[in-house]
Amino acid sequence: MGFLSSLLDIVGFGIGIPFGLLVGFFLFVYSQPKDVQDPDVRPLSELDSSTLLDLLPELPFWVKNPDYDRVDWLNKFILNMWPYLDKAICDTIRSMAQPIFAEYIGKYQIEAIEFEKLSLGTLPPILHGIKVYETNEKELSMEPAIKWAGNPNIILVLKWLSFRITIQLVDLQIFAAPRITLKPLVPTFPCFASLVLSLMEKPHVDFGLKILGGDIMSMPGLYRFVQETIKREVAKLYLWPQTLEIPILDAATGAIKKPVGILHVKIVRALKLLKMDFLGASDPYVKLSLSGERLPAKKTTVKRKNLNPEWNEKFKLIVRDPQAQVLELHVYDWDKVGGHDKLGMQLVPLKLLTPHETQEFTLDLLKNSNISDPQKKQRGKIVVELTFDPFKEDHECASGPLDGYGRKESRISRTSDDDTPSGAGLLLVTIQGAEDVEGQRHNNPYAVILFRGEKKKTKMMKKTRDPQWNEEFQFMLEEPPLSEKIHIQVMSQRSGIGFRSKESMGQVDIDLTDVVHNGRINNKYHLINSKNGQIHLEIKWKMI
């Protein structure tokens, strides 16, 4: 029976294979193929509620919200850069964690803490869309939607009482919607001075945590407790309006510092100056300026043939950094022909001054500021009175709210309607730029400011309808400019010589009442006598 069954199996196998191939051939040749049907594609509006609910969590933000842009190119960039970013980020984590670990070594019988393995895995985070805000500020704000389901391999080894305890982080998932602001924008690479981060909603963080090989997150109740604790602690630190500011550029190199006060300088007199003239006299005058400023130095009047001149002349200088800036005083002998001879100089650090307190200094004049250079000749003395008046606090918000059009509200300090501001101050006018300005014969725009009979203008930008000036102008006033207007006109000038070399491209008059009461405005204004032209202005009123 065994032999017979084996024989039948061999015969069946030999007959079955040729017969199956023959049947399959005839079916392939003579059967009629059916048309391939396209998949059923329907818009989201036609789907039933259960199907729609299943799909919504997987849809990217750029599909759900038209304000979000698709950034597949950026995801491809991150994917190709991820192996290098992984190593760079892990090296940063190691360097930051090392001093933290060092604080615990020796405490609680802990012998050592170190990373055995540290890798963020092969799966990079994915941006499901990004929303960019246009603001009137010198900043760039964006909100990416980040989802990261990573496969990190992070093992931390803790040596405690001669025991080796391993802690492993696995299956990390992070869903977050941060707001990233680059500000202020400056003309120094990478073109922004700091990076400000904040979270627009509580992040979702999920992970597994193994200690000695066992997943403790599977313990009943612990998973939910850890999730809520992480969300609560992160929200305390970074949920908007809380922010994390990361400096990128040094303040001295990055942005120009804002004015913080006014230095009142009174040049009183000079004593026993050097005799520089042929007849045994001098014609002295004083030039004064603050270090770090590009503005022209201010000058006193010339006192003819006087070695002990009295000026009693007052000046005001704008202070940006009272801890670092220095008042420079240079005394010269005026000559009708040729250069003026230098009688002496002296420096006064502003950090020596007490705010709102007038201090008198009697200073020995030096040949130069080089300490190692011996000062052999007595050059006389100069007497000055200095008062530093800092501006009142602005109480500006750390991050202004966004309105419905994606623009930031001006961050200003408001006074009550009943309060009438009074006292001296500084009016700062910044001409940011203009849009869609067009001349009849040429487009070489520049802006002109007219205020209280004083005229100031920006540089000329050639062959453009959208000039960007970013120039600041200052007006020191003895009283607030209530019920006053400032006139700003955009002009165009022919680059060569010819008739009608100048023409107006539009103008605007700004009422300064709101500036005085609010402290600051930052808006775009439509230009009068211009078809579509706009000008972007920032005006501040700083009170002493």
Q: What global pTM score does this model have?
A: 0.63
Please tell me the predicted confidence (pLDDT) of residue 27.
54
Please tell me the predicted confidence (pLDDT) of residue 13.
57
Here the tokens at position 371 are 């300490």
Please tell me the predicted confidence (pLDDT) of residue 396.
41
Please tell me the predicted confidence (pLDDT) of residue 413.
41
Task: Give 297-366 as a 3 state SS string.
Answer: CEECCCCCCCCCCEEEEEEEEEECCCCCCEEEEEEEECCCCCCCEEEEEEEEEHHHCCCCCCEEEEEECE
As a whole number of angstroms, the distance between CA 292 and CA 297 comes to 12
Each residue's pLDDT, cut to its tens digit, for the chain (544 residues) gives: 555 566 556 656 566 666 666 665 555 445 555 555 666 666 766 767 776 666 666 666 666 677 788 888 889 999 999 999 999 988 888 888 888 888 777 777 777 888 888 888 889 999 888 888 878 888 889 989 888 888 888 888 888 777 888 888 888 888 888 899 998 888 778 888 888 988 888 888 887 778 777 777 667 777 778 778 877 888 888 888 888 888 887 655 545 678 889 999 999 999 989 887 666 688 899 999 998 887 788 999 999 888 999 999 999 999 988 998 999 999 999 887 767 888 999 999 999 999 999 999 999 998 877 766 666 678 899 999 999 999 886 544 333 434 433 333 334 344 444 556 667 889 999 999 999 998 888 889 999 999 998 999 999 999 999 999 989 898 988 889 988 999 999 999 887 665 568 899 999 999 999 899 888 899 999 999 998 899 999 999 988 7
SS3 state of residue 82: helix
As a whole number of angstroms, the distance between CA 353 and CA 317 comes to 14
Long-range Cβ contact pairs of 280-285 (< 8 A, separation 24 or more) = 281/305, 281/306, 281/307, 282/306, 282/307, 282/333, 282/343, 283/333, 283/334, 283/335, 284/309, 284/331, 284/332, 284/333, 284/334, 284/343, 285/331, 285/332, 285/334
As a whole number of angstroms, the distance between CA 152 and CA 123 comes to 8
**Residue 491 host element (H or E):** strand 485-493
Confirm if 421 and 516 have CB atoms less than 8 A apart. Answer: yes
**Residue 8 host element (H or E):** helix 2-30
Please tell me the predicted confidence (pLDDT) of residue 16.
62
Confirm if 130 and 69 have CB atoms less than 8 A apart. Answer: yes
Please tell me the predicted confidence (pLDDT) of residue 165.
82
Q: How far is CA 215 from CA 24, 171, 201, 230, in A?
A: 54, 11, 29, 18
As a whole number of angstroms, the distance between CA 362 and CA 383 comes to 4
How do 192-199 and 244-247 pair as beta strands?
antiparallel
As a whole number of angstroms, the distance between CA 460 and CA 442 comes to 12
As a whole number of angstroms, the distance between CA 356 and CA 396 comes to 23
Please tell me the predicted confidence (pLDDT) of residue 257.
73
> Which DSSP string corresponds to 389-404?
EEPPP----SSPPB-T
Q: Return the C-alpha torsion angle 360, 365, 368, 369, nearest 10.
A: -30
